[in-house]
Structures are given as structure tokens and as C-alpha cells.
Amino acid sequence: MAGILDNKVAIVTAGGSGIGAATVRRFVREGAAVVIADLSGSRAEQVRAEVASTGGRAVALKMDVAEPQGVETTIKLALDSFGRLDVLFNNAGMAEVSLIHQTTLESWERVIAVTLTGTFLGLKYAIPIMRRQGAGAIINTASISGIHGDYGMGSYNAAKAGVINLTRTAALENAKHGIRVNCVCPGAINTRVAQILGKDRADEFRRVMGAAHPLARMGEPDEIANTVAFLASDQASFITGASFVVDGGMTAATGLPRLPGAE
């Protein structure tokens, strides 16, 4: 049975772990050939070897999304390896925790460079290829942190809000060229952040973050990958300029306390 991405060629940034790696696996299962780009070349290669062992087509490279030459090289690798580019998943991003008045300019610029400028560069260099082909799908990773504010996350909030509106503008500019541009807005997802904290702190992190969601748990990378695969496919052919919230119901609430009698 054919997959929903049969014969498509995709690039996934930050594809060496978390949401990116889960999306690479899903894309390959759906029939796509994938370029796996990650700041860690070794993690990208591990994912490539994994999917290749199941018969998947993939190549991997070390790439910094904030560097124009790295983005251009990644797109060239897709064209040289597979002949075209149908899907771009702009997934890379980063956050640094700091109150606004304590945030250094260097920290601000780092977060903006990776999270927002990296998304811009992916769009900038992929769109001309897709325009020549007359079709393409681009999915950007935004966040519910681009919709609402978070205490101590000013640079990340600003960058992700920028990704959401950049997505809308790119969708408008390229609709007549057959290119759809959408973004996904995850809630708290169980990725390397929890692992880095160590077992005891990670368990507490998962408990606190899970309790913030009406579904009472963090999301899993595969659950975001499912949405990305749908948006990349022809099943989403009438969807562009949209922000898909995948957050376990977190943004459904106003934040006001539960009223008496509503138990």
C-alpha cells in the first residue's frame, strides 16, 4: 500500500532527535526520501543508519540553520541525492531562560538566529526550487509559546510568534505557485530536554508539565510527527497559512480558576 508521501523528497532540520527524528521516521514510513540535517552530525547519521536499516532512503549532514551556506548546502544535497525537493520541515529552534531585563544581547540574538532566522533561511532557499517545480509543502515548527507568553522566555516567545506570522506571509506569497506553508504549535513534548535534566529532575519535569495539560501528560514526538506528515501530504491540499495547535488542550483554557459548582 502506497504511503501518503510516496516519491516525495523532504528535508528535516534538527532531524537527529526528538520531533525531528520522529518525523524522519514517519516520512520514511510514508514513502519519502529524506535529508536529515542536524547541528550534531553524529545524531543525524544515527537516524539515517536506523531508517536505512529498514530500507528507507535518507542522507545525513551536519548543518547550522543560522548559517546561510549550511542551508544552501542542505538543499543542494537534496537535489543532488534525489533530484527534487517536495517538503521542507523547518524544525530547528532553541530557548534560553531569562527575564527580559536580564537577557543579554548575545543570548537574544542566539535564540532569534536559530529559531526565527533559521526558519526564514529555509523558506528563502527552498521556495525558488519549489516555485520552479510548481508545487511544494513547507511546515515550520512554531509553539504555543508563540501564541501566549511564558515567564522568563521572552526571546523564545518573540521568535516563535515570528515563526507563526512568517508562515502566514509565506503562504500568501506562494499560494499561486502551488506551495503550501503551515506551522505546527506543540505544547510540552517529551524530548531530549527531559533526558538532559537527569532521571530525578526529568521525572519531576514530566509530572509538572503533564499536569499543565488537560490530557494530564506531555506529548510525544510521534504525535507531532503525525501532524507534520499530514500537512506535508496531499491530504492537506486545501490547507495553507494555518497554525496547527497540538498541545493536549492546554490553550483551550482561559487560565481562570474553576468556579464553585462546576465539579
Among all residues, which ones are annotated catalytic? 156
What pairing do the DSSP bridges indicate for beta strands 179-186 and 58-62? unpaired
Amino acid (1-letter code) at residue 33 = A
Q: How many residues in the chain? A: 263
Q: Which of 155, 39, 49 lies closest to 97, judged by CA?
A: 155
CA distance 18 to 70: 21
35 phi, psi to nearest 5 deg: -95, 120
- The SS3 assignment for 215 reads coil
Sign, Cα dihedral of 148, 154, 160, 165:
positive
- The SS3 assignment for 74 reads helix
Q: Give the CA count within 13 Å in the CB-facing half-sphere of 183.
A: 31
Q: Are 15 and 91 in contact (CB under 8 A)?
A: yes
Name 8's Cβ contacts closer than 8 Å, sequence gap at least 6: 27, 31, 32, 33, 86, 87, 232
Name 21's Cβ contacts closer than 8 Å, sequence gap at least 6: 15, 43, 47, 221
